Structure 1
Amino acid sequence: MKKTVLQAACLLLLAVMISCSSKMDTYPEGYEEGDEYFSMKEFFDDQWKNKSELPYVYAKVTKVNDVVEDSVIMDWTNEAFAEIREEFEKADIGAPGHLGKYNFTLLEDMNSRTLLYEALDKDAFTQKLILVLDAENNKITSVYAETKDEGIFSTENSKMTYIPDGTIQIVKFRKHMFSKKKEIIITYKFL
């Protein structure tokens, strides 16, 4: 009898675990396969695919609380690009689990289309994502993201801009309970 109860409990636990893991990849109610928000990962995969062989050189300047901490001219390498894309991919909302969690607005004018995603939850990590596309060819001309990570002892907010073949800027605001507020600005400028 105990063995049967134990087996039933194990089967029930296994069923719960399987149902929980499958929910991670399913689409929320009202959405279906193919519905998606913009994917940072796909965008940066495309950027690397199209630009990895080009002889880019860029200046990287790091400021902490308005003081230049580091300044260097670098080649566009896989390692350098990985450092940039890692920050932006943290703000990715392309997975099905994000559907229904953002308010989407499309703004159009003669020269551009702006796609605006704003978090419905004030505690969401990615608070805002703005894409500007060329109206003629739909090429992305800029990506802007705002993130917020509030912990018990610290807070880190970031604002990031990526302009293909132009400027990339990552601004982080950090505040720890036991230290002063720190503003870190990392700017990459293609030369």
Structure 2
Amino acid sequence: MMTDSLGSDHPYTLSEIERAHEIIARSVVDYGVVYLPLLDRMEREVAHARRQVEGSARAQAVLGRVREQQARRGRVVMRKPPLAPAVRFRVDPAYVPADKAARRMGLTPDQFGEYRRRLYARGFPVPDETAGLYDIEAIDRWRMRQRPDLYPEMQPGLPVVGPAPRTDLGARFADAQKAKSMGKRFADAERTRRAKTRSGDGGRA
């Protein structure tokens, strides 16, 4: 598994990181220099990923030279270590225990236990009756429904856009831009409705 420039593990390949770099570069050209910090970060990530790939190739070359030298000297040839698979997939759990559900809500386990009944009264997802685990996606959806100003697409009467699997940073960036645009349209519509309401009240007065 590769790491990013900050030392954290991630499942992305060099080609996926380069693709995200290209998408963000186009965003800078199309939408302006406000996205330059993202471009700078992606340039660091591309350079860091290339160093890791090249470092692995250099290590393999060193081992190859060592094996050749040992073979010429009649020593036991070093066995080639097994190669890691080219693509690795990280599987995140869909269900979590109560302490992880508390962390998802930004609460301590004790706070979660204290607030649990009030959260259930507001529609918070109850745990599975057999395993006693919480559905993490259901928690996220409940959380977004509590803030119609931030997540208008999650409100009743509007089409619900389910979370689609994303495999690269560029796709996640595109999703964020789409959500931001939908939130702005919702806010504009709300301001127009309030202005009409105030106008109507003034006319009746």
TM-score bracket for this pair, using the shorter chain length? under 0.3
Counting strand residues as a fraction of each chain, which structure ranks higher?
1
* TM-score calculated relative to the size of structure 2: 0.18
* TM-score calculated relative to the size of structure 1: 0.19
Counting helix residues as a fraction of each chain, which structure ranks higher?
2
Bigger CA radius of gyration: 2
